[in-house]
Amino acid sequence: MNYTLHQLQVFLKITQTKSITKAAEELHLTQPAVSIQLKNLQDQFAIPLTEVVGRQLYVTDFGKEIAQAAENILNEVYAINFKTLAFKNQLTGRLKLSVVSTAKYVMPFFLTNFLKQNEGVELVMDVTNKAKVIESIEKNEVDFSLVSILPEQLKIESVSLMKNQLYLVGNTDELFDREIYDIDVLEQLPLIYREAGSGTRFTMEQFIKGNNLHVIKKMELTSNEAVKQAVIAGLGYSIMPIIGIKNELKNNVLQIIPIKRFPILSEWNMIWLKNKNLSPVANAFLEFVKTNKEQIMREKFAWVNDYPKITGN
Protein backbone atom coordinates (compact mmCIF):
# COMPACT_ATOMS: atom_id res chain seq x y z
CA MET A 1 0.00 0.00 0.00
CA ASN A 2 1.31 3.43 -0.94
CA TYR A 3 -1.66 5.77 -0.53
CA THR A 4 -1.10 9.36 0.54
CA LEU A 5 -2.84 11.61 3.04
CA HIS A 6 -3.99 13.75 0.12
CA GLN A 7 -5.64 10.75 -1.54
CA LEU A 8 -7.44 9.92 1.70
CA GLN A 9 -8.57 13.50 2.12
CA VAL A 10 -9.95 13.61 -1.43
CA PHE A 11 -11.68 10.24 -1.09
CA LEU A 12 -13.26 11.21 2.22
CA LYS A 13 -14.67 14.38 0.65
CA ILE A 14 -16.05 12.34 -2.28
CA THR A 15 -17.85 10.01 0.14
CA GLN A 16 -19.28 12.99 2.02
CA THR A 17 -20.54 14.84 -1.07
CA LYS A 18 -21.36 11.77 -3.22
CA SER A 19 -20.03 13.79 -6.14
CA ILE A 20 -16.65 14.38 -7.77
CA THR A 21 -17.84 17.81 -8.91
CA LYS A 22 -18.90 18.91 -5.42
CA ALA A 23 -15.78 17.41 -3.85
CA ALA A 24 -13.64 19.39 -6.30
CA GLU A 25 -15.50 22.60 -5.43
CA GLU A 26 -15.12 22.12 -1.67
CA LEU A 27 -11.45 21.17 -1.95
CA HIS A 28 -10.74 23.99 -4.44
CA LEU A 29 -9.39 21.48 -6.96
CA THR A 30 -10.24 20.74 -10.57
CA GLN A 31 -12.50 17.78 -11.36
CA PRO A 32 -9.72 15.97 -13.27
CA ALA A 33 -7.39 16.35 -10.25
CA VAL A 34 -9.99 14.77 -7.96
CA SER A 35 -10.66 11.97 -10.45
CA ILE A 36 -6.93 11.21 -10.67
CA GLN A 37 -6.57 11.02 -6.90
CA LEU A 38 -9.59 8.69 -6.70
CA LYS A 39 -8.12 6.45 -9.43
CA ASN A 40 -4.70 6.37 -7.75
CA LEU A 41 -6.29 5.30 -4.47
CA GLN A 42 -8.57 2.75 -6.15
CA ASP A 43 -5.61 1.17 -7.98
CA GLN A 44 -4.29 0.01 -4.60
CA PHE A 45 -7.38 -2.06 -3.82
CA ALA A 46 -8.79 -5.09 -5.62
CA ILE A 47 -12.30 -4.24 -4.37
CA PRO A 48 -14.19 -1.23 -5.79
CA LEU A 49 -14.46 1.82 -3.55
CA THR A 50 -17.17 3.49 -5.63
CA GLU A 51 -19.50 2.70 -8.47
CA VAL A 52 -21.44 4.83 -10.92
CA VAL A 53 -25.04 3.90 -11.75
CA GLY A 54 -26.49 6.13 -14.42
CA ARG A 55 -24.88 9.45 -13.57
CA GLN A 56 -24.94 8.97 -9.79
CA LEU A 57 -21.83 8.04 -7.82
CA TYR A 58 -22.30 5.52 -5.00
CA VAL A 59 -19.84 4.45 -2.31
CA THR A 60 -19.57 0.68 -1.89
CA ASP A 61 -19.70 -0.98 1.53
CA PHE A 62 -15.95 -1.51 1.30
CA GLY A 63 -15.51 2.12 0.29
CA LYS A 64 -17.48 3.23 3.37
CA GLU A 65 -15.10 1.24 5.59
CA ILE A 66 -12.09 2.83 3.91
CA ALA A 67 -13.69 6.26 4.29
CA GLN A 68 -14.13 5.69 8.03
CA ALA A 69 -10.53 4.58 8.34
CA ALA A 70 -9.43 7.63 6.31
CA GLU A 71 -11.35 9.95 8.62
CA ASN A 72 -9.71 8.35 11.68
CA ILE A 73 -6.25 8.68 10.12
CA LEU A 74 -6.79 12.33 9.15
CA ASN A 75 -8.12 13.16 12.61
CA GLU A 76 -4.97 11.71 14.14
CA VAL A 77 -2.84 13.79 11.77
CA TYR A 78 -4.76 16.93 12.73
CA ALA A 79 -4.28 16.04 16.40
CA ILE A 80 -0.51 15.76 15.89
CA ASN A 81 -0.44 19.16 14.18
CA PHE A 82 -2.54 20.74 16.93
CA LYS A 83 -0.32 19.25 19.67
CA THR A 84 2.80 20.59 17.95
CA LEU A 85 1.35 24.09 17.85
CA ALA A 86 0.05 23.80 21.41
CA PHE A 87 3.61 23.26 22.63
CA LYS A 88 4.39 26.62 21.02
CA ASN A 89 1.56 28.18 23.11
CA GLN A 90 -0.58 28.82 20.03
CA LEU A 91 -4.36 28.49 19.96
CA THR A 92 -5.10 25.25 18.12
CA GLY A 93 -8.10 23.25 17.00
CA ARG A 94 -10.97 23.29 14.54
CA LEU A 95 -13.58 26.00 14.17
CA LYS A 96 -16.73 24.51 12.61
CA LEU A 97 -19.28 26.83 11.01
CA SER A 98 -22.40 26.43 8.91
CA VAL A 99 -23.71 29.49 7.08
CA VAL A 100 -26.62 30.19 4.76
CA SER A 101 -25.58 30.69 1.16
CA THR A 102 -25.82 34.49 1.07
CA ALA A 103 -23.76 34.66 4.28
CA LYS A 104 -20.70 33.70 2.25
CA TYR A 105 -20.54 37.41 1.42
CA VAL A 106 -20.43 38.25 5.14
CA MET A 107 -18.66 35.62 7.24
CA PRO A 108 -15.22 35.67 5.54
CA PHE A 109 -14.67 39.25 6.68
CA PHE A 110 -15.24 38.18 10.30
CA LEU A 111 -12.79 35.29 9.91
CA THR A 112 -9.80 36.75 8.09
CA ASN A 113 -7.95 38.51 10.90
CA PHE A 114 -8.89 35.86 13.46
CA LEU A 115 -7.33 33.12 11.32
CA LYS A 116 -4.27 35.27 10.59
CA GLN A 117 -3.75 35.83 14.31
CA ASN A 118 -4.25 32.12 15.12
CA GLU A 119 -2.46 30.03 12.51
CA GLY A 120 -3.11 26.85 14.50
CA VAL A 121 -6.87 27.11 13.92
CA GLU A 122 -8.34 25.03 11.10
CA LEU A 123 -11.60 26.31 9.59
CA VAL A 124 -14.36 23.96 8.46
CA MET A 125 -17.25 25.93 6.96
CA ASP A 126 -20.32 24.52 5.22
CA VAL A 127 -22.26 26.91 2.97
CA THR A 128 -25.81 25.68 2.40
CA ASN A 129 -29.48 26.68 2.76
CA LYS A 130 -31.27 27.70 5.95
CA ALA A 131 -32.90 24.32 6.59
CA LYS A 132 -29.58 22.45 6.50
CA VAL A 133 -27.84 25.11 8.57
CA ILE A 134 -30.47 24.77 11.31
CA GLU A 135 -30.20 20.98 11.13
CA SER A 136 -26.42 21.11 11.61
CA ILE A 137 -26.67 23.30 14.69
CA GLU A 138 -29.58 21.25 16.08
CA LYS A 139 -27.43 18.12 15.84
CA ASN A 140 -24.54 19.99 17.50
CA GLU A 141 -22.32 19.35 14.47
CA VAL A 142 -20.93 22.90 14.38
CA ASP A 143 -19.76 25.57 16.79
CA PHE A 144 -21.68 28.46 15.22
CA SER A 145 -24.10 29.18 12.41
CA LEU A 146 -24.80 32.43 10.57
CA VAL A 147 -28.45 33.01 9.69
CA SER A 148 -30.75 35.89 8.84
CA ILE A 149 -33.83 34.20 10.35
CA LEU A 150 -33.58 33.01 13.94
CA PRO A 151 -34.90 29.45 14.46
CA GLU A 152 -37.89 29.45 16.78
CA GLN A 153 -37.72 25.73 17.62
CA LEU A 154 -34.24 25.78 19.15
CA LYS A 155 -32.88 27.17 22.40
CA ILE A 156 -30.01 29.30 21.19
CA GLU A 157 -27.80 32.20 22.05
CA SER A 158 -26.83 34.76 19.46
CA VAL A 159 -24.80 37.83 18.64
CA SER A 160 -26.08 40.28 16.04
CA LEU A 161 -23.61 41.20 13.32
CA MET A 162 -25.35 43.54 10.85
CA LYS A 163 -28.56 44.30 8.99
CA ASN A 164 -29.49 42.22 5.95
CA GLN A 165 -31.06 44.54 3.38
CA LEU A 166 -33.10 43.06 0.53
CA TYR A 167 -34.07 45.02 -2.59
CA LEU A 168 -36.10 44.34 -5.71
CA VAL A 169 -33.61 44.08 -8.57
CA GLY A 170 -33.70 43.63 -12.32
CA ASN A 171 -31.23 43.87 -15.16
CA THR A 172 -30.58 47.21 -16.84
CA ASP A 173 -32.36 46.53 -20.13
CA GLU A 174 -35.63 48.12 -18.98
CA LEU A 175 -35.93 51.71 -17.83
CA PHE A 176 -37.63 52.35 -14.49
CA ASP A 177 -37.88 56.13 -14.56
CA ARG A 178 -40.23 56.84 -11.67
CA GLU A 179 -38.64 58.06 -8.47
CA ILE A 180 -40.64 55.63 -6.31
CA TYR A 181 -43.03 52.82 -7.26
CA ASP A 182 -45.90 51.48 -5.16
CA ILE A 183 -45.44 47.94 -3.91
CA ASP A 184 -48.15 46.64 -6.25
CA VAL A 185 -45.56 46.86 -9.05
CA LEU A 186 -44.48 43.47 -7.68
CA GLU A 187 -47.73 42.01 -9.07
CA GLN A 188 -46.72 43.04 -12.59
CA LEU A 189 -43.23 41.59 -12.70
CA PRO A 190 -42.24 37.92 -13.15
CA LEU A 191 -40.39 36.97 -9.96
CA ILE A 192 -37.56 34.51 -9.52
CA TYR A 193 -37.60 32.66 -6.19
CA ARG A 194 -34.94 30.88 -4.18
CA GLU A 195 -35.65 27.26 -3.23
CA ALA A 196 -37.83 26.24 -0.29
CA GLY A 197 -35.74 26.35 2.89
CA SER A 198 -33.90 29.51 1.89
CA GLY A 199 -33.88 32.42 4.34
CA THR A 200 -34.11 34.90 1.47
CA ARG A 201 -37.20 33.15 0.16
CA PHE A 202 -38.78 33.11 3.63
CA THR A 203 -38.26 36.86 4.04
CA MET A 204 -39.54 37.51 0.51
CA GLU A 205 -42.68 35.40 1.00
CA GLN A 206 -43.42 36.99 4.39
CA PHE A 207 -43.33 40.43 2.79
CA ILE A 208 -45.57 39.37 -0.11
CA LYS A 209 -48.05 37.66 2.20
CA GLY A 210 -48.01 40.52 4.71
CA ASN A 211 -48.92 43.00 1.98
CA ASN A 212 -51.56 40.74 0.38
CA LEU A 213 -49.81 40.77 -2.99
CA HIS A 214 -50.63 38.36 -5.83
CA VAL A 215 -47.36 37.89 -7.67
CA ILE A 216 -46.21 36.01 -10.74
CA LYS A 217 -43.78 33.25 -9.76
CA LYS A 218 -41.64 32.77 -12.86
CA MET A 219 -39.16 30.17 -11.64
CA GLU A 220 -37.34 28.72 -8.63
CA LEU A 221 -33.56 28.38 -8.42
CA THR A 222 -31.33 26.77 -5.84
CA SER A 223 -28.65 29.39 -5.17
CA ASN A 224 -28.19 33.11 -4.90
CA GLU A 225 -25.68 33.01 -7.77
CA ALA A 226 -28.17 31.21 -10.03
CA VAL A 227 -30.85 33.78 -9.25
CA LYS A 228 -28.41 36.60 -9.92
CA GLN A 229 -27.41 35.23 -13.32
CA ALA A 230 -31.04 34.63 -14.28
CA VAL A 231 -31.92 38.24 -13.43
CA ILE A 232 -28.91 39.55 -15.36
CA ALA A 233 -30.02 37.46 -18.36
CA GLY A 234 -33.46 39.07 -18.24
CA LEU A 235 -35.44 36.01 -17.15
CA GLY A 236 -37.22 37.94 -14.43
CA TYR A 237 -36.82 40.01 -11.28
CA SER A 238 -36.05 39.02 -7.73
CA ILE A 239 -35.78 40.31 -4.18
CA MET A 240 -32.12 39.86 -3.23
CA PRO A 241 -29.74 40.76 -0.38
CA ILE A 242 -27.69 43.75 -1.42
CA ILE A 243 -24.65 42.14 0.18
CA GLY A 244 -24.42 39.70 -2.74
CA ILE A 245 -24.84 42.10 -5.66
CA LYS A 246 -22.28 44.84 -4.97
CA ASN A 247 -20.18 44.24 -8.08
CA GLU A 248 -23.20 43.80 -10.35
CA LEU A 249 -24.62 47.14 -9.24
CA LYS A 250 -21.23 48.80 -9.65
CA ASN A 251 -20.81 47.31 -13.15
CA ASN A 252 -24.34 48.41 -14.10
CA VAL A 253 -25.64 44.94 -15.01
CA LEU A 254 -28.23 45.04 -12.22
CA GLN A 255 -30.39 47.90 -10.99
CA ILE A 256 -32.38 48.47 -7.82
CA ILE A 257 -36.02 49.25 -8.57
CA PRO A 258 -37.16 51.89 -6.04
CA ILE A 259 -40.27 50.64 -4.22
CA LYS A 260 -42.02 51.90 -1.12
CA ARG A 261 -41.28 49.95 2.09
CA PHE A 262 -37.93 48.78 0.76
CA PRO A 263 -35.42 47.53 1.63
CA ILE A 264 -36.90 44.58 3.48
CA LEU A 265 -34.80 44.17 6.61
CA SER A 266 -33.67 41.12 8.49
CA GLU A 267 -30.51 40.69 10.55
CA TRP A 268 -27.43 38.55 10.33
CA ASN A 269 -26.99 36.66 13.59
CA MET A 270 -24.25 34.27 14.63
CA ILE A 271 -25.98 31.61 16.72
CA TRP A 272 -25.02 28.63 18.88
CA LEU A 273 -26.87 26.17 21.09
CA LYS A 274 -27.77 27.46 24.52
CA ASN A 275 -25.55 25.95 27.24
CA LYS A 276 -23.16 24.58 24.60
CA ASN A 277 -19.71 23.84 26.01
CA LEU A 278 -17.65 25.93 23.60
CA SER A 279 -14.11 24.81 22.80
CA PRO A 280 -11.20 27.20 23.46
CA VAL A 281 -11.11 27.98 19.72
CA ALA A 282 -14.86 28.67 19.58
CA ASN A 283 -14.67 30.84 22.69
CA ALA A 284 -11.79 32.83 21.24
CA PHE A 285 -13.65 33.38 17.97
CA LEU A 286 -16.81 34.49 19.78
CA GLU A 287 -14.83 37.07 21.79
CA PHE A 288 -13.07 38.22 18.62
CA VAL A 289 -16.41 38.78 16.87
CA LYS A 290 -17.91 40.66 19.81
CA THR A 291 -14.85 42.89 20.13
CA ASN A 292 -14.25 43.60 16.44
CA LYS A 293 -17.66 43.50 14.74
CA GLU A 294 -18.24 47.27 14.76
CA GLN A 295 -14.85 47.94 13.21
CA ILE A 296 -15.34 45.22 10.59
CA MET A 297 -18.74 46.63 9.65
CA ARG A 298 -17.30 50.15 9.28
CA GLU A 299 -14.34 49.02 7.20
CA LYS A 300 -15.98 46.36 5.02
CA PHE A 301 -19.70 47.08 4.82
CA ALA A 302 -20.17 50.86 5.02
CA TRP A 303 -20.96 50.82 1.28
CA VAL A 304 -24.41 49.28 1.90
CA ASN A 305 -25.52 52.63 3.33
CA ASP A 306 -25.04 54.26 -0.09
CA TYR A 307 -28.32 52.74 -1.29
CA PRO A 308 -31.76 54.25 -0.63
CA LYS A 309 -33.96 53.47 2.35
CA ILE A 310 -37.48 54.12 1.05
CA THR A 311 -40.38 54.58 3.42
CA GLY A 312 -44.07 55.26 2.89
CA ASN A 313 -47.24 53.24 2.37
CA dist 19 and 31 (Å) reads: 10
For residue 87, pLDDT beyond 60: no
Q: Could you give the percent of the chain with pLDDT greater than 90?
A: 60
Q: Where are the domains of the chain?
A: 5-86, 93-162+267-306, 164-266
For residue 124, pLDDT beyond 80: yes
CA dist 171 and 106 (Å) reads: 24
- Give the residue-averaged pLDDT of 243-263: 93
Q: Could you give the percent of the chain with pLDDT greater than 70?
A: 95
Q: pLDDT tens for residues 272-289?
A: 999 898 888 999 999 999
Map the chain to HEC letters: CCCCHHHHHHHHHHHHHCCHHHHHHHHCCCHHHHHHHHHHHHCCCCCCCEEEECCEEEECHHHHHHHHHHHHHHHHHHHHHHHHHHCCCCCCEEEEEEEEHHHHHCHHHHHHHHHHHCCCEEEEEEEECHHHHHHHHHCCCCCEEEECCCCCCCCEEEEEEEEEEEEEEEECCCCCCCCCECHHHHHHCEEEEECCCCHHHHHHHHHHHHCCCCCEEEEEECCHHHHHHHHHCCCCEEEEEHHHCHHHHHCCCEEECCECCCCEEEEEEEEEECCCCCCHHHHHHHHHHHHHHHHHHHHHHHHHHHCCCCCCC
What is 93-162+267-306's CATH number? 3.40.190.10
Do 261 and 183 touch, CB atoms closer than 8 A?
Answer: yes
- pLDDT at site 89: 57
Read off the pTM.
0.70
Q: pLDDT tens for residues 158-201?
A: 999 999 999 999 999 988 888 899 999 999 999 999 988 888 89
CA dist 208 and 260 (Å) reads: 13
Residue 112: pLDDT band (50, 70, 90) is very high
Domain at 5-86, CATH class: mainly alpha
Q: pLDDT tens for residues 125-134?
A: 988 888 889 9
Identical fold, 5-86 and 93-162+267-306 = no
Q: pLDDT tens for residues 298-308?
A: 999 999 888 87
Q: pLDDT tens for residues 200-233?
A: 899 999 999 999 999 999 999 988 899 999 999 9
Do 164 and 264 touch, CB atoms closer than 8 A?
Answer: no
- Give the residue-averaged pLDDT of 119-130: 87
What is 164-266's CATH number? 3.40.190.290
